[in-house]
Amino acid sequence: MHDRNGSIGRARFSASSAHGARGPFVSRAEASIAAACPFKGIGCFAEGKLAARRLTVDQLIADDGCLIGGALARRIPQHDARGGRDLQLHVGGDGGSAAGVRLLAGAEDRWRDRCRGAVWSFRHAWREVPCDAWGSNSVLASVEKPHDIEAARIAGDAATVVDEFPSDEAFSLLGANAKIVPCLAQKRSKTRVECRLCLDADELARRDIAIALEAHGPTARRVREAIVQQLVLIIQRSGAGGSRGR
């Protein structure tokens, strides 16, 4: 984390990202890329930006929990953070096991209690780790094909990436029932903390909204080349398991 006054640890405080999409929030990036990621080794966004460490995924998760706890023990910068300081986990990477995720979820709960902000993330391991392991946090599963959306709904949440938006307005895709809205942060009309759809999985479920994300970053070309058919990453909270408390 770092604030405007200097560096603290490996979690990163960012008042605004370089591309302006996020807004004021705290980011924790790790190279714990899930085996389920279809782009692992062939264009994964995390591989383009982060160096892998020689640790197991569960060790990285435990490290994440310690870093969050350490950040809480220090002064969390609150300038430009009306309504609390939001935390995005795993800008690159994933949770490794239900036990590890529950450990991390406990640290996230303490973050929310102290900083009053939302905690959100995306995951490829939605088939392996049940969504309830994440507790009340807004964690959205990554789905690359429309026909996988219902499977993800049964498991919990869903999230995806498309090569490009077919429309700047809400659109639909064959095999998906939800209304799909292009990510407003990628369209530059709002930051993620202004939009807040990703930060509230229950609201996505209630309104049956999906959010489309375009391939982006230094590995975007490789991701597009890896797409055999139009792979859609949909962000959508499942209503199957009931609402999570916040």
Per-residue pLDDT tens for 164-184? 777 788 888 777 787 878 888
What digits encode the pLDDT tens for the residues 186-232? 877 787 778 888 888 778 777 777 777 777 666 667 666 665 433 44
Helix (H, G, I), strand (E, B) or coil at 68: helix
Residue 187: CB atoms within 10 A of its CB come to 14
Q: Are 113 and 130 in contact (CB under 8 A)?
A: no
By C-alpha distance, which of 55, 18, 13, 17 is closest to 33? 55
Q: Which residue has the tokens 């229950």?
A: 202
Nearest-angstrom CA–CA distance, 76 and 88: 15
| Higher pLDDT pick, 66 / 171 | 171
Report how far apart, in Å, the C-alpha atoms of 115 and of each of 109, 169, 193 are: 10, 34, 14
* pLDDT score of 23: 46
By C-alpha distance, which of 48, 77, 211, 219 is closest to 138? 211
| Range 49-64 average pLDDT | 48
* pLDDT score of 125: 80
Q: Are 144 and 39 in contact (CB under 8 A)?
A: no
Sorting pLDDT into bands at 50, 70 and 90, what band is 55? very low
pTM: 0.62
* pLDDT score of 80: 47
Q: What is the mean pLDDT of the chain?
A: 63
Nearest-angstrom CA–CA distance, 210 and 159: 8
